[in-house]
Amino acid sequence: MAMLNRVHLNGLRAVEAVARLGSLAAAAGELNVSVSAVSQQINRTEKQLGRALFERTPAGLVATEFGTVFTARLGAGFRELAQAVALADESSECTLVVSVAPAFASKWLLPRLSRHFARHPNVLLRIDASVRLADLDRSDINVAIRLGDGKWPGGQAELLLAQEVFPVCAPVIASKLKSIEDLALTCAITDERSMISWESWFEAAGVKPVTFMKGARFTDPMLCLESAIAGHGVMLGWQLLAADALADGRLVAPFGVRAQSGLGYWLVTSARRTKAVRSGISRSGCAKRSRRRWRSSGRSRAPAEPASTSRWKGR
């Protein structure tokens, strides 16, 4: 920290703004100073650092190799500072910051936002839609909703809904599947980041694993879902992801067998924080309401079991 004493904060702000916005004029507008003042701040900062951050070209300032690395770190630092300052506003406005994976946000959270604001008009929400695991001890995240086994170091987790897995596909594909063995004639749509596997489903079905034809591979479950809807093959889905498409007929579950995945959606808070929600709404209260709605939604929208199937396990 002592090294920061040799560099003026205003100069670092000018450097970061120019790097992010791409010009002296844009940076001057954001900082509410003149273009010459921004230029002087950059020159002063470069002298204090003893390194050139920008090359002066006829087209404007272009970051040097060192400047590119330096401004990337600088930008991350200023974003952290902005979040720290925002805590003051959020505490007075009763803002709940929720970290959630994009698939969950799209399929479950967004349809329920109007219900939240109707019941809690004074509690604002800020949704951090990301697959990264938020640091609940050191970030401004109050609550995280994550898919997993409930074991996250330093976190307190409450189960919202256990997830079962089952094959889903477009009706045109399902019409060709007379038995589980027919899966060998179809392409598997694969999520390369998925924590679930076909082996557990084949075991629940009581049959030997089938070797699929090679199909599309993605790194996002939503893309896998869209690929299945488009008729590209069969994917291993779960309640949350497939419920809407099953309900409106875009997808079908060709077999009545479900398998326990060992995973579920969990409400996760920091074990070190005594209150995850600064607005005064208790974590346990949120969890109970969320769990009730989750289970109600899951039961009402779960794919029905075909009458001819008798090997449905893990109910």
CA dist., res. 121 & res. 138, Å (int): 28
Backbone angles phi, psi at 290, to 5 degrees: -65, -40
Give the model's confidence band at 273: pLDDT under 50 very low, under 70 low, under 90 confident, else very high. Answer: low
Average model confidence (pLDDT) for the chain? 82
CA dist., res. 96 & res. 126, Å (int): 6
The predicted pLDDT at position 90 comes to 53
The string of DSSP codes covering 273-307 is -S-S-TTS--HHHHHHHHHHHHHHHHHHHSPPPPT
Non-local CB neighbours of 212 within 8 Å, separated by 6+ positions: 183, 184, 186, 187, 188, 233, 234
Neighbours of 252 (CB within 10 A): 21
More confident residue, 287 or 8: 8
Q: Provide the H-helix boundaries in 56-165.
A: 65-93, 102-104, 113-119
Q: Which letter does DSSP use for residue 108 in this model?
A: I
Q: Model confidence over 147-173: pLDDT tens digits?
A: 888 888 878 888 988 889 999 999 999
Q: Model confidence over 200-229: pLDDT tens digits?
A: 999 999 999 999 999 999 988 999 999 999
The predicted pLDDT at position 93 comes to 58
Non-local CB neighbours of 69 within 8 Å, separated by 6+ positions: none
Q: Are residues 3 and 16 in contact, defined by beta-carbon separation less than 8 angstroms?
A: no
CA dist., res. 144 & res. 233, Å (int): 33
Is 137's pLDDT higher than 90? Answer: no
CA distances from 116 to 125, 150, 280, 286, 295 (A): 9, 25, 15, 11, 17
The predicted pLDDT at position 133 comes to 73
Average pLDDT for 290-312: 36
Non-local CB neighbours of 125 within 8 Å, separated by 6+ positions: 95, 96, 97, 98, 113, 116
Q: Model confidence over 26-59: pLDDT tens digits?
A: 999 999 999 999 999 999 999 999 999 999 999 8
Give the model's confidence band at 91: pLDDT under 50 very low, under 70 low, under 90 confident, else very high. Answer: low
3-state secondary structure of 113: helix
